[in-house]
Structure 1
Amino acid sequence: MKPTTGKAALAVALVSSAALGYELVLLRFFSLMYWDHFAHLIISMALLGFGLSGSVLSRLQHRLVPVFSRSFAVSSLLFVVTLLLAASLIGRLGFNPPEIIWQGRQMIRFAAVFTVTTVPFFFAGLCIGLTLRSFQDEVARMYRADLCGAAGGTLLVFFLLFLWPPQYCIKLLALVGLLAPMVLVGRNNTGLWRLVLAVCAVVCLVWPNHILVPVMSEYKGLKQALLVPGVRVAAEKHTPVGEYTALVSNNIPFRYAPGLSLLAPVLPPEQIALFHDGHPVGVIQRGSEGGQAMEFLRWTPQALAYALIDKQPDVLVAGAGGGTDIWHALLEQAVRIDAVEQNRGLVDLITTDFTTFSGDIYQQKQVHLERGDIRGFLVASQQQYDLIQLSLFGTAVPAGAGSGHALRAQPLFTVEGLQLALSHLTNNGMLSLTLPLELPPRSALKTVTTLMAAMQRLDANSDPFAHLIVIRTWNTATIMVSRAPLSHYQQDTVRVFCKERAFDIDWLPGLKSSEVNQISVLDQPYLYEAISALRQGVAHPLSATFHVTPAVDDRPWFSHFFRWSSLPSLWTQRTSGSAALLEWEYLLLWMSFAVALVISVPAIFLPLRPFMRKHRQISLGRKERAAWIVYFAALGLAFFFVEITFMQQWIVFLRDPILAMAVIVPSFLFFAGLGSGAVKRLQQMTWLREWSWGSRRPVMLVCTVIVVVACLYLWLLSYIFQLGAAWPLTVRAVVSIGLIGGLAFWMGMPFPLGLLRLGKWYPEWIPLAWGVNGFFSVISTMVAILVALHGGFSTVIGCALFLYILIAFFEHRVWANRAV
């Protein structure tokens, strides 16, 4: 017996909730096991599963739809079982992303991870596709249940991740998925079904916790540190955006001091090492003895900024982390210290578990702590600073090239972001930034090009290179920019400072070539030569080999240096120590795209053959068949293009990555679900029914609204965000939800509008439409990143608006003259 519409909608919402919750848990799994930029890959795996379910359902619908309840129940049970199996297996398949460029078998392991991760989503998609096909007159309601359930699952896991590590959430999601067949079958359960459900519930509860724990890559700092005898975990903190770990060493204390002079007469005090998802993010200094133990900081390159400032400064520490740069500012008798840290979990770990050890650094009277994004803080702040400090002791500085972070957006390290920071300096203020030194030093050079572009925007009539200082230690490069041109006294101070500490000077106004590369000698003075060429406006070999042009807000990937023209030479040298120059994460994105295409193209077109033969007999022309495929394919591409583009802007406005995650994704899903549910009401509105032209073109009307609203947002959002930068966090969250809803509500309509027409004319095409939409959604997440990397987010949103116009055009030309 076919269940009621209400039960079917609830069952779909439960499955969708578990599936999207599982997707969020996978984001945490992959961040812990590998790196945090795998979001596009997780979304692609999920949507690939949905797409495959549509292709399979299109061939088996005549068998599965007549026994809908049983088919749905079996599919949901298989979803639960494969969810547990996949979560247990993905970390144990031996996949190590950095090795993919020199070990061919890693591609096989990557394919295995891709396949295993996709299977649960296949069964979840089969449940949803079955329901859309079986309730073809209620597709808007079912699609609303799908999207709203997904929003609920996202929020559920978001709050659970504050309490539990991600592996514990898997069991709860499996139980949520198990509720779907219980709701659907209800009292019609036979004794066998009740036994099967009971066994599945017991399996979920007793599934061993230890095999769900994600296995961390051996290339991560935390994994390597735990191999040292005597090192142990002192504390852990779990949040939705990261797992924070503190390590202590019982044998040999940690001594982390990047750039410390080899002539330093003092050593760092005892330290506790900090890690975020396995990546090092600084240390906590033993501060119980006060500032006396911090004398070593005067022998680091960061001390140069204080030597050049002739007063007790007001200091902004960006990415305060464990508090080392705060100790440095206190040592130099700073009057005011604004410390900004976006990792709330890291601050909580320091202030609750290591209050005494850290000397209660965040409670010092000069220190003002701001938890949030540094760029958002600068937008809202009116404070001027004598020094803005970004160093390797904190968390704001990008990791070195080749560290696996090439696809991580860095909103501060764009021309606009650094221009904003420079605008907060006093007339004689300085910005100091210390980076890890690579060979060739591409991060340092890209920082210089970006800073120089930012300085030119601030003052087009000034020579930005007259404000620049670059010094180098054996493992770091420090770039400093003064708001005013450097005086002769300051230039002399730099020379004395570097001579006393055995640091190299790579740029200073008036620096001679005979003064460079004297201490930590490189095979050539890369930075001096590159900056000299940059000043003269001529090409340099580094700029031909690596992408070192300034990052901008439209393309905020500071750590992306790859050029295709360099691939042949770098590829031949990859086994000779040059593997880090290849940016495996960028190449893996292209590999993922290729895998998705190889799977998607046959899965879309093979199921078409029986439909094409059948519909030739009922005058379904080739043009209309192509139009239906393009319609749902364009929707799959356009929806994610818009969502990904605007998501980047809201993250900066909300300033808190945890809040952004809690607001943006659920809001998009929820309001899109509401829009889907409003489709029938829209069609039943009197004014639309009486308007003959409009009643035949509802998709055109909706797409027109989407394009108009998106264009308004592109024009107005920057002004709204600037106006609201100083608003309280709650107000910014409410405004964001309202703005997201104003766009997402309409974006949720075209898909059910198309399905309603299919259900009326060609109901057997519904599973295929579900699959086509899923496959192109797979491609859209990767294409959006690739297009943004090369053409910017403006190109991505331009493509999205073009696709919505294309959708409206197809309705106008192909379907408008048919009776609805």
Structure 2
Amino acid sequence: MTDVGPWLQRLAIFCTSAVIILAELALMRELALRFWDHLAWLAITIGLLGFGISGTVLVLVHTFLRVSRQTLQCFSLIGLGLSLPACVLLADTIDVNLIQMVWQPAMMWSVGVLEMILGIPFLFGGMFIGLALEDHPDRVGGHYAASFLGSGIGGIIAMPLMYLVSPRLLILLGGCTAFMVALLFVRRGIQTAGWIISIPILGLLLFITPHSPRISDEKDIVQIKAMANSKTMFSRYSPQGKIELAEAPAFHTAPGLALNYTQPIPQQTLILIDGQITDSIYTITSVDDFAFMDYTTMALPYAISHIERALIDHDAGAGQVGLAMRSGVKEITTVIANGALADLLAGEIPITGTFIYATGHVSLAPGTIRRELRKSSSPYPLIVLPTVGTDPAGLAATQPESRITLETLRLSFSHLARGGLLSISTAIHLPPRESLRLLNLLVEVLRESGLEPAAHLAMIRNWATVTIVAAESPLAAGQLAAIRAFCLKRGFDLVWLPDLKKDETNMFHLLESDGYYYGAKSLVGEDRNRFVDDYLYDLSIPDDNKPFFNHFSRWPKADEQLRQLGRYGQTYIELGSILLVAALGQALVLALLFIVLPIIPVIGLPGGPLQQVTVLGFFSSLGFGFMLLEMGLLQRLTVYLAHPVWASATVISAFMLFGGVGSSLSTMMHKWYAKMHVWIICTVMSVSVTLLLVIDTITSLSEGYGLTARIVVAYFIIAPLAMTMGMIFPIGLKRLGTAQPRLIPWAWSANGFASVLAALFAQVIAMRWGFNVVVWSAIGWYGLAALCSLNLPECRTIEG
């Protein structure tokens, strides 16, 4: 028995769990700053990997060392405190170039080393919690509840802290907190000596560790800072990214500007999110300075019709808004998903010249376009959706994109006024992919509305961008003539018009084979389904169940796809998918190694083969089921909450808080039989099925709410499921602890590794079949857990 009482033990578990979740969320932001925010899922995998390894480490320590549990807990916390600053310091020394990974496969080893280094703190944290769960069976439920509740609180406090300090400082703060919590376990000489000796080590690590993260050389901010006379004018951290405003007199950008435009572009202030340029704020004296925007494909809707009122969904900058004002739009609503950026644009920012967001024509709407449309009571003559296709390397392949789904486009089209226009643009890629998927989406929306797509669509391109306009009414002869004149004056190529002739296409930006025209002709015609099935890329329609707009690879036909692309095939490989598969392979190897290792004879894991298989099956099934449900809801609510960090913090904290309530309730139940355990698991399965049936209705009805209200709704969605799920694991440990307590670390390891694999498989399943299949898979694993539960080793009764 430990000398630390149960309530001090639970206080330590609470604080440690809060530190672990805080570090995990901060690591998401750290990876987004250094690389890209598409790697948020990697932080979850790293944390779970550390937890999985910790169980096997405990088995080995108990077998070969004679050290008290209290001493091990003390040194686990010291290790957590020291390793948090040490791991980010070491990670900065690992060179990883994600863009070059296709040409340098050995870079995968660097990614693996980076994962292992960043997983060390979670190994120590997992050891501490695993040791606590070896306590008397009657205390396990309370300990597990403390872990859940601490994780939930950590997820909640992480969000406001991310506005105040950098992710790196949050990680360092977590290290100091864990180190101080270790004092609760300092009772004897060796513990005191270890803690005192570690003080100067921690001080040195805090001193030498940079407080700002290393930024990859591929990030735009690195190139900007290298330019002469460049300077950063403003910098602010937020959960949705680090916002920077930078000036670089040598840098000029205009999205897809016509090659025959000869006038100067206004001086611009660059807006960077996590080191990547997202847009620009232009220094102007009047809206006429936005004349250059009239020479982009994005000006197409203003050539088709005179617009009085427009809704623009754009994350940053003033290009689209300036174009609308110059085109005579009197009332402009611009939606900005990044709340911190919206606050910045609505307030004082350090630029000179006319600031168009301060004019009476423009109103800022923080949130999502779906929220704005749900709130709106009047239709719009023009709705402009965000420009996509800016991820040529495929890093965003695994990232849900809530703004470009069938439901979003359907809702947008339904809010068009009579004769209204829906416009969307994409960067150009060869062979065409984003543009054809967008066209396929719009064709589906028009057909659902009972309209003939060919008569309602216009599509043009230049050297850099493609713009597609869907009209609420058939395009009239005068509008078609205006489109032709617009393109001829600017040197743009026609891709689709209702009366387009082949000899009118591919006139300015010549392609050997105009895949844009042939693709558009097929998609609006009778051969649409056959074309989609046979096309090189996956052009299937993304929806809220499978919102992976940037995922184009056909996984079962990857070899065939690369052969068709020829010697340039490597250029088109989706790096996000490659990273996911590599992480899955790494996790499988480590899981097999660390789960099999304890059962070799020299270690002498207790119990017969049947008991071991049952324990492995039960706790692994719980790990798979729990994490598949959590990841499935996380992915689905990323669409609802519009950002992965908000979704991660909300889902993780909700599962932990309400799971903690469930764990607490389990301590009040003093007699448990296998059949009663099965009933709780069956309840989880029933609630999951119910959630599948109602979640779309709940989210669609509440999309018009503000972010805080939507987070509250997400909590209510998760609460009943998480409370029931939170009861199962501690009851299983309680049963195991009365019969085979030495199997608890191994069960902890199996659960951890199953959670790692589930987190990765959830992404694969969602990309292939959708979130609903992820949830059904979780239900299946809980069914297996129910079967294994019937044969768990246990005493006949457990008295409280």
TM-score range, shorter-chain basis? Answer: over 0.9
Report the Cα distance in structure 1 between the residues aligned to 2:440 and 2:553, rounded to whole angstroms: 16
Superposed displacement of residue 262, structure 1: 2.2
Q: Distance in 1 between matches of 2:167 and 2:709?
A: 30
Asked if residue 795 in structure 1 is aligned to residue 773 in structure 2, the reply is: yes
Query: 1:536 is matched with which residue?
Result: 526
CA distance in 2, matches of 1:541, 1:425: 28
User: Larger deviation: 549-558 or 215-224?
Assistant: 215-224
8 Å contact kept, 1:88–1:213: no
Deviation, structure 1 residue 192: 2.7
Query: Residue 303 of structure 2 aligns with which residue?
Result: 307
1:350 and 2:345 are equivalent in the alignment: yes
What amino acid is aligned across from residue 677 of structure 1 in structure 2?
Answer: S
- State the partner residue of 1:148: 149
Give the one of 258, 262, 267 matched to 1:261: 258
Q: 1:362 to 1:662 in 2, by over 3 A?
A: farther
Aligned AA for 1:788?
Answer: A
C-alpha separation in 1, matches of 2:299 and 2:683: 55
- What secondary structure is seen at the aligned counterpart in 1 of 2:516? helix
Worse-superposed segment, 23-32 or 544-553: 544-553
Kept in 2, the 8 Å contact 1:545–1:566? The answer is: no
Match status 1:450 vs 2:435:
no
Matched, 1:217 2:212: no
CA distance in 2, matches of 1:261, 1:147: 56
Give the direction of change, closer, same or farther, for the CA distance of 1:320–1:16 in structure 2 (3 Å limit): closer
Answering whether residue 258 of structure 2 is matched by residue 271 of structure 1, we say no
Q: CA deviation at 1:147?
A: 1.7
Q: Distance in 2 between matches of 1:402 and 1:242?
A: 21
Q: Check whether the contact 2:426–2:435 (CA below 8 A) recurs between aligned residues.
A: yes
Amino acid at match of 2:292: F
RMSD: 2.6
- Quick check: 1:376–1:655 contact (8 Å CA) kept in 2? no
Give the letter for the 1:507 counterpart. W
Which SS does the other structure have where 1:368 is aligned?
Answer: strand
Distance 1:219 1:361, change over 3 A: same
* Percent of aligned pairs with the same amino acid: 28
Q: Which residue in the other structure is 2:316 paired with?
A: 321
Deviates more, 1:354-363 or 1:165-174: 354-363
**2:510 corresponds to which residue?**
521
Mapped to 2, the partners of 1:133 and 1:818 lie a distance apart of 20
CA contact (8 A) 1:376 1:654 kept: no
Report the residue type matching 1:596 in the other structure. Answer: A
Q: How does 1:172-183 map to 2 (within 5 A)?
A: 172-183=173-184
Letter in 2 for 1:317: I
Residues 606 and 740, structure 2, Cα contact 8 Å, conserved in 1? no
1:779 and 2:779 correspond: no
Shift of 1:72: 1.1
1:464 aligned residue (453, 457, 470): 453
Name structure 1 gaps, 5 residues minimum. none
**Residue 645 of structure 1 aligns with which residue?**
632
1:47 matches 2:48: yes
Flag the 1:814–1:185 CA change in 2: closer, same or farther, 3 A: closer
**Cα offset, 1:556, TM superposition:** 0.5
Corresponding residue number in structure 2 for 1:230? 229
Corresponding residue number in structure 2 for 1:556: 547
Distance (whole Å) between structure 2 residues aligned to residue 52 and residue 357 of structure 1: 55
Match for 2:679 among 698, 701, 716? Answer: 701
CA distance in 1, matches of 2:281, 2:688: 45
CA contact (8 A) 1:414 1:558 kept: yes
Q: Match of 2:632, as an amino acid?
A: T
1:298 to 282, 294, 298: 294
How far is 1:578 from its partner? 4.1
1:429 aligned onto 2:420: yes
Q: 1:357 offset after TM fit, Å?
A: 3.0
| TM-aligned CA deviation for residue 718 of structure 1 | 2.2
Q: Which amino acid aligns with 1:488?
A: A
Distance 1:664 1:278 in 2: 27
- SS in structure 2 at match of 1:239: coil
Specify which of 671, 674, 677 is matched with residue 658 of structure 2.
671
Give the letter aligned to residue 170 of structure 2: C
Alignment of structure 1 residues 354-503 onto 2, 5 Å: 354=349, 357=352, 359-392=354-387, 397-459=388-450, 462-503=451-492
CA distance in structure 2 between the partners assigned to 1:385 and 1:241 by the alignment: 29
Deviation at 1:175, TM superposition (A): 0.8
Q: Distance in 1 between matches of 2:353 and 2:648?
A: 30
| Count of aligned pairs between the two proteins | 795
The answer to whether the 8 A contact 2:233-2:247 is kept is yes
Tell me how far 1:412 sits from its aligned partner.
2.2
Q: Which amino acid aligns with 2:186?
A: V
Do structure 1's residue 283 and structure 2's residue 283 form an aligned pair?
Answer: no
Indicate the larger mover: 805-814 or 493-502.
805-814
CA distance in 2, matches of 1:814, 1:659: 38
Distance in 2 of aligned mates of 1:543 and 1:351: 48
Task: Describe the shift of the 1:384–1:716 C-alpha distance in structure 2 as closer, same or farther (beyond 3 A).
Answer: same
8 Å CA contact 1:90, 1:116 repeated in 2 = yes
* Aligned position for 1:207: 207
The answer to whether the Cα contact below 8 Å between 1:530 and 1:542 also exists between their aligned partners in 2 is no
Cα 1:574/1:5, change in 2 over 3 Å: farther
Structure 1 residues 191 and 438, CA, compared in 2 at 3 Å: closer, same or farther?
closer
Matching residue's letter, 2:485: V
Contact 2:385/2:424 (CA < 8 Å) preserved in 1?
yes
Alignment of 1:756 onto 2:745? no
> Contact 1:401–1:442 at 8 Å: present in 2 too?
no
Contact 2:673 2:797 in 1 (8 A): no
- Please say if 1:22 is aligned against 2:12: no
Q: 1:655, CA displacement in angstroms? A: 5.2
| TM-score normalised over the length of structure 2 | 0.94
Cα distance between partner residues in 1 of 2:123 and 2:195: 24
Determine whether 1:510 maps to 2:511: no
